[in-house]
Amino acid sequence: MENLDKKGLSVRKAQRLTGVPAGDVSRIRHAELERFSSDRMMMILNKLGSRVEVSVRVKERKREAVHA
């Protein structure tokens, strides 16, 4: 995780700052993210001092022809 590296944070220090178990911080550092929701990742990044911005764009689906 780039944020940890930029700040020179160890897994244990990140654990103390975020309240996230060290094993989970290690998984994040190694990009094993399947266990983490986007909400949880944003919470962790916020606790590490990052500003998180999420943007959602809705695209209309093409409608399929309906045959009777």
Structure confidence by residue, pLDDT tens digits, 28-44? 888 899 999 999 999 99
Q: What sign results for the dihedral spanned by CA atoms 29, 31, 32, 33?
A: positive
Confidence of residue 26 (pLDDT cuts 50, 70, 90): very high
Distance CA 35, CA 6 (A): 24
Distance CA 19, CA 66 (A): 52
Q: 49: which 2 tokens? A: 């001092």
pTM of the model: 0.69
Q: Mean pLDDT of all residues in the chain?
A: 87
Distance CA 44, CA 53 (A): 13
DSSP, res 44: H
